[in-house]
Structure 1
Amino acid sequence: MRKLLTVCLGNYCRSPFAQVGLARRGGAAVTVRSAGLIGKWQDLPANPSMINAARRLGHDLTHHRGHQITLEDLDWADDVLAMNAAVLDMLRAIDGGHNTGKLRLYLP
């Protein structure tokens, strides 16, 4: 089973949305988690607009709660997918070179 981690700035909009989409697309072959670089939305639901957008596409974000990334999250994942180049740069700094080969942009 492939383990994917989607990461954005706050784990409030983009990474939770990507998490549910990838989980549905990957089915039983993947486990997907999401996280944010900052803890501003730690333990809070996803953005209401994202919950509604996900619902329109058949995804459920109502159970999502924000999570600030940890080194354990990076170690857990087979692939860490950053939502943009700035997030990728910050992930590289946080990681310190331990997981460099698995850090990449979600959409190059």
Structure 2
Amino acid sequence: MTRLLTVCLGNYCRSPFAALALTHRGGAEVSVRSAGLIGKWQDQPAHPSMIAAARRLGHDLAAHRGQQITRELLDWADSILAMDAAVLDTLRAVCGETNAHKLALYLDDRDVPDPIGKDEQVFHHVAVLIEAGTTLHTGPRR
């Protein structure tokens, strides 16, 4: 089983949906968790617009509760997938040599844009990007 950790700034929009989409696509072959660099949304549900975007794509994000990154989560993961380059840079600074080899951008060579402050259409676009990116980490749909 592959253990994936998705990370964004607050674990409020992108990384929770990425974890859900990866779990859905990967099935029993993957174990996925998500976290944020900051604890602002600790124990809070995902952004309502991301919950709605997930629902439109057939996913239920309502049970998500935010959590901040921990050393235990970093150690647990086989791969740590940052939603954008700024998150990746911060993770490089906090991971140290122990977990640095696990770090990558979720979309390999580009950022997943942060939809905070944008309209529902942007949230939907971001969710579609994230769902399309699941094949990079899990292979074909099971």
Range of TM-score over shorter length? over 0.9
Taking structure 1 as the reference length, the TM-score comes to 0.98
How many residue pairs get matched?
A: 108
Identity of matched residues, %: 73
Pick the structure with more strand per residue: 1
* Distance across 1 between alignment mates of 2:31 and 2:75: 14
Structure 2 counterpart of 1:51, one-letter code: I
* Distance across 2 between alignment mates of 1:94 and 1:25: 29
Aligned to 2:105: 105
Taking structure 2 as the reference length, the TM-score comes to 0.75
Please tell me whether Structure 1 or Structure 2 has the larger radius of gyration of its CA atoms: 2
User: 1:97 Cα deviation (Å)?
Assistant: 1.7
* Distance across 2 between alignment mates of 1:57 and 1:30: 20
* Distance across 2 between alignment mates of 1:57 and 1:32: 19
* Distance across 2 between alignment mates of 1:73 and 1:58: 27
Pick the structure with more helix per residue: 2
User: Is the partner of 2:75 in helix, strand or coil?
Assistant: helix
Structure 2 counterpart of 1:30, one-letter code: V
Aligned to 2:47: 47
Structure 2 counterpart of 1:23, one-letter code: T
Long gaps (5+) in structure 2 = 110-142
Aligned to 1:74: 74
User: 1:5 Cα deviation (Å)?
Assistant: 0.3
Long gaps (5+) in structure 1 = none
